[in-house]
Amino acid sequence: MSRPSLLILSFSDIRGDARVLKQVREFTRDYDVITCGYGAAPDGVVEHLRIPSDAPAWRFDRVALVLRRFERAYRGNRAVVEAQRLLGGRTFDVVLANDLDTVPLAIGLRPRGGVHADLHEYTPRQRYEDLRWRIFFAPLMAWLVRRYVRRADSVTTVGEGVAAEYERVFGVRAGVATNAAPYVAAAPTPVGEPIRLVHSGAGLRNRSITLMIDAVERATRPVTLDLYLTENDPGLIAEIRERQSERVRLHPPVPYADLIRRLAEYDVGVFVLPPINFNYRWALPNKLFDFVQARLGIIVGPSPEMAGVVQRHGLGTVTAGFDADDLAREIDALTPERVAEWKAASDRAAAELSSETQVAVWRRAIDALAARARSA
């Protein structure tokens, strides 16, 4: 019996997209997986349809947006045009559409079993702090949810808060598959002096990365902070480079395959994210789960989803607020013994908080659609 075909569609460089890679790794075992996205082919797929890098996904015709001609704005997007060209005439058993902007393409392919939409963010309010984004892009995103996501056969998203908002505003019921990292068999490393703090992720100004630098500089306790940042904002990276010292060091990003091993050299993962938009308020990012698999203690701000995981499993501490002084106070309260207890708690929780428990949500949805394709 032939294996079912599964198209995994994403307007991202899939080899560097941790969430989409988990889907690829889960389904290549017993599906013929075809990917469509930017960059080189991920390992294990039977075919990769590569969208040209000069076809950006977030560039839309401004006049069409202003006139609320959303179908025209969407269909004129270069990434959509190129993906449609690559996918033209193809038929699949199931399509797994990643993020809101791939869902219309997936629906249009009419796969035999149906479409599963995996929404990585609450996209209608993704950059709501930006006035231009609110005026030009937010209405398009809301329209895409109303017109296309409601037609998907099943939906998942990254956290309970985001899922609740999709249902409250649009009536879309979504399961939750968190951004958990794959399980790593490891043991916590000893805690020394100074205590070693680490943060990894996107070098974006609205992530308030300099807040962490400010906190370390204000703290009286001897600690170091190492930053592994992608160069999303060259200006910000230049500023951080200028602020390097004996306590703060900036490093190039580490390939995801090597990230957990590198993080395990440290003691405490840090992420304090001021809630400047809806998604930041309800963030439950990859890095939190990366810290767990690296067997680190964790300090986060009072973001409900992150704080809930940290407190529920005893992984670390939650700051009182979202400013540098709040973080500095928690840094000053650190001791090697306390951090060692947090690292041991991460070790105990690593299996429960691994992606193996989360990909089962996608597995049930995709298998159900594949069964429908077989019966059809």
pLDDT 10s digits, 337-368: 999 999 999 999 999 999 988 999 999 999 99
* Measured distance CA(348)–CA(187) in Å, rounded: 10
Whether 57 and 170 map to the same domain: the answer is yes
**Mean pLDDT in residue range 80-94:** 95
| Cβ–Cβ < 8 Å for 279, 121 | yes
CA separation for the pair 37, 130 (Å, rounded) = 27
Q: List, for residues 316-332, the tens digit of each pLDDT value.
A: 999 999 999 999 999 99
- Whether 187 is in a domain gets the answer no
Tell me the residue type at 362. W
Do 138 and 29 share a structural domain?
A: yes
Least confident of 78-87, 112-121, 134-143, 164-173: 134-143
Identify whether residues 160 and 230 lie together within a single domain.
no
- Residue 286 to residue 288: CA distance in whole angstroms: 6
Q: How many percent of the chain have pLDDT more than 70?
A: 100
Provide the pLDDT confidence category of residue 13 given band limits of 50, 70 and 90.
Answer: very high
pLDDT recorded at residue 1: 61
- The set of residues, in sequence order, having a beta carbon less than 8 Å from that of 55 and lying 6+ positions away, is 78, 79, 81, 82
Task: Select from 126, 145, 148 the least CA-distant residue to 206.
Answer: 126
- Same domain for 200 and 120, yes or no, is no
The pair of three-digit structure tokens given for residue 45, joined into one six-digit string:
């797929």
**Structural domains counted in the chain:** 2
User: Are 90 and 29 found together in one domain?
Assistant: yes
Counting Cβ atoms within 10 Å, is residue 269 exposed (0-12), middle (13-18) or buried (19+)? Answer: buried
| Mean pLDDT over the full length of the chain | 94
| 182, part of any domain | no
- How many alpha carbons fall within 13 Å on the CB side of residue 304? 8
The per-residue pLDDT for 218 is 96
- Structural domain contains residue 190: no
**pLDDT at residue 2 tops 90:** no
Instruction: For residues 279 and 249, state if they share a domain.
Output: yes
Distance CA 256, CA 316 (A): 24
Residue 129 lies in a domain: yes
| CA–CA gap between residue 308 and residue 232 (Å, rounded) | 29
Arithmetic mean of pLDDT, 61-83: 94
Q: Is 186 domain-assigned?
A: no
**Dihedrals phi, psi of 24, to nearest 5 degrees:** -60, -50
| CB neighbour burial string for 290-313, b if at least 16 within 10 angstroms, e if fewer | bbbbbbbbbbbbebebbbbbbeeb
Residue 189 lies in a domain: no
**Single-letter code of the amino acid located at 233:** D
Same domain as 314, residue 264: yes
pLDDT band at 126 (very low <50, low <70, confident <90, very high): confident
What CATH code is carried by the domain that includes residue 315?
Answer: 3.40.50.2000
Query: How far apart are the two ends of the chain, measured CA to CA in Å?
Result: 15
Q: What are 8's strand-pairing partners?
A: 35, 96
> pTM of the full predicted structure?
0.88
Q: Flag whether 91 is in a domain.
A: yes
In a domain, 184, yes or no: no
Pick left, alpha or beta for residue 333 (phi over 0 → left; psi -120 to 50 → alpha; otherwise beta).
alpha
Task: Inform me whether the pLDDT recorded for 83 exceeds 70.
Answer: yes
- Cα–Cα distance for residue pair 36/16, rounded to 1 Å: 14
C-beta of residue 99 within 8 angstroms of C-beta of residue 10: yes
Q: Is the pLDDT of residue 262 over 90?
A: yes
Q: Domain span at residue 59?
A: 5-177+358-375
Structure confidence at residue 255 (pLDDT)? 86
Whether 42 has a pLDDT exceeding 70, the answer reads yes
How do residues 140-189 score in pLDDT, each as one tens digit?
Answer: 999 999 999 999 999 999 999 999 999 999 999 999 999 999 999 999 99
Domain co-membership, 228 together with 169: no
**pLDDT of 314:** 98
Identify whether residues 25 and 134 lie together within a single domain.
Answer: yes
Q: What per-residue confidence (pLDDT) applies to 69?
A: 95
Same domain, 257 and 363: no
- Could you tell me if 303 and 249 lie in one domain? yes
Average pLDDT over residues 34-60: 95
Question: In this structure, are 362 and 330 located in the same domain?
Answer: no
**Cα 279 to Cα 141: distance, rounded to the nearest angstrom:** 14
pLDDT over threshold 90, residue 257 = no
Residue 134 binned pLDDT confidence (cut-offs 50, 70, 90): confident
Residue 222 has pLDDT above 90, yes or no: yes
User: Tell me, what CATH number does 59's domain have?
Assistant: 3.40.50.11930
Report helix, strand or coil for 210: helix
